[in-house]
Structure 1
Amino acid sequence: MADILTVVFKTFISQTGLNTTKGFQVICPSAATSSTLMVGDRSITRSLLLLAAVTAASELGIKVLFFTQTQIQSLPPPLQNCTSNLSPDSLKKIKFCYPRTVTELLQQVACLHESTPPSLIIVDRLEGYLRGAGGCSHSEFQQAEQSCAAHVSALLHDTAAFLTQVLEQRDTSLAPCRVIASFEPQLEVGQRSGDLSAPDPVLSVLDRYFQVRCTLDRDESYGATAAGLQEVWHVYLSGTGITEAPCTEGSKEPGIALEWRLAVSHDGLMEFTLV
Structure 2
Amino acid sequence: MTDILNLVFRTFASHTELRDSPPPPVTRSSALLLGENSVSRSVLLLAAVTAASHAGLRVVFFTRTLIQSLPASLQKLVPSPESLKKIKFCYPKTVEELLQQLAALHESSNTSPTPPSLIIVEGLEGFLFGSRGGSHRELHPGEQSCAAHLSALLCDTATFLTCVLERRSSSSGPCRIIASFQSEVDGEPSASDPILNVLDRYFQVRCTLDPDRGYEAAAAGLQQLWHIYLSGRGVTEASCSKDSEDRPAVAREWKLLIHPDGLMEFKTV
TM-score (norm 2): 0.89
Which residue number in structure 1 is paired with residue 261 of structure 2? 267
**RMSD (CA atoms):** 2.3
Q: Find runs of 4+ consecutive structure 1 residues off by over 6 angstroms.
A: 20-24, 247-251
Q: Does the CA contact (< 8 Å) of 2:124 and 2:179 recur in 1?
A: yes
Matches of 1:211 and 1:157 in 2, distance apart? 10
**Structure with more contact order per residue of length (Cα contacts < 8 Å, sep ≥ 6):** 1
Matches of 2:145 and 2:118 in 1, distance apart? 25
Matches of 1:251 and 1:166 in 2, distance apart? 31
* Secondary structure of residue in 1 paired with 2:260: coil
Matches of 1:236 and 1:43 in 2, distance apart? 18
Matches of 1:219 and 1:250 in 2, distance apart? 31
Q: Does the CA contact (< 8 Å) of 1:42 and 1:125 recur in 2?
A: yes
Which residue number in structure 1 is paired with residue 252 of structure 2? 258
The residue identity in structure 2 corresponding to 1:230 is Q
Matches of 2:81 and 2:242 in 1, distance apart? 34
CA change 1:111–1:9 in 2 (3 A) is: same
CA change 1:54–1:25 in 2 (3 A) is: closer
Matches of 1:270 and 1:180 in 2, distance apart? 19
Per-residue CA shift, 1:30-88, capped at 9, x if unaligned? Answer: 3xxx21100111010000000000000000001000000011011100011112xx332
Question: Residue 72 of structure 1: which of 67, 75, 84 is its match?
Answer: 67
The residue identity in structure 2 corresponding to 1:45 is S
Which residue number in structure 2 is paired with residue 118 of structure 1? 116
* Secondary structure of residue in 2 paired with 1:244: helix
Which residue number in structure 2 is paired with residue 13 of structure 1? 13
Q: Does the CA contact (< 8 Å) of 1:99 and 1:105 recur in 2?
A: yes
Matches of 2:265 and 2:216 in 1, distance apart? 17
Q: Does the CA contact (< 8 Å) of 2:33 and 2:206 recur in 1?
A: yes
Matches of 2:244 and 2:68 in 1, distance apart? 45
Is residue 226 of structure 1 aligned with residue 202 of structure 2? Answer: no
* Secondary structure of residue in 2 paired with 1:208: helix
Per-residue CA shift, 1:76-112, capped at 9, x if unaligned? Answer: 00011112xx332111100000000000000000010
Q: Does the CA contact (< 8 Å) of 2:61 and 2:120 recur in 1?
A: yes
Matches of 1:26 and 1:174 in 2, distance apart? 14
Q: Pairwise mapping of residues 194-213 of structure 1 onto structure 2 (< 5 A)?
A: 196=190, 198-213=191-206
CA change 1:125–1:251 in 2 (3 A) is: closer
Question: Residue 130 of structure 1: which of 123, 128, 132 is its match?
Answer: 128
CA change 1:244–1:250 in 2 (3 A) is: closer
TM-score (norm 1): 0.87
* Secondary structure of residue in 2 paired with 1:273: strand
Q: Pairwise mapping of residues 153-168 of structure 1 onto structure 2 (< 5 A)?
A: 153-168=151-166
Matches of 1:173 and 1:81 in 2, distance apart? 29
Structure 1 unaligned residues grouped into runs of 5+: none
Matches of 2:194 and 2:104 in 1, distance apart? 29
Which residue number in structure 2 is paired with residue 98 of structure 1? 91
Number of matched residues?
Answer: 259
Which residue number in structure 2 is paired with residue 45 of structure 1? 40
Cα displacement (A) at 1:144 = 2.4
Which residue number in structure 2 is paired with residue 82 of structure 1? 77
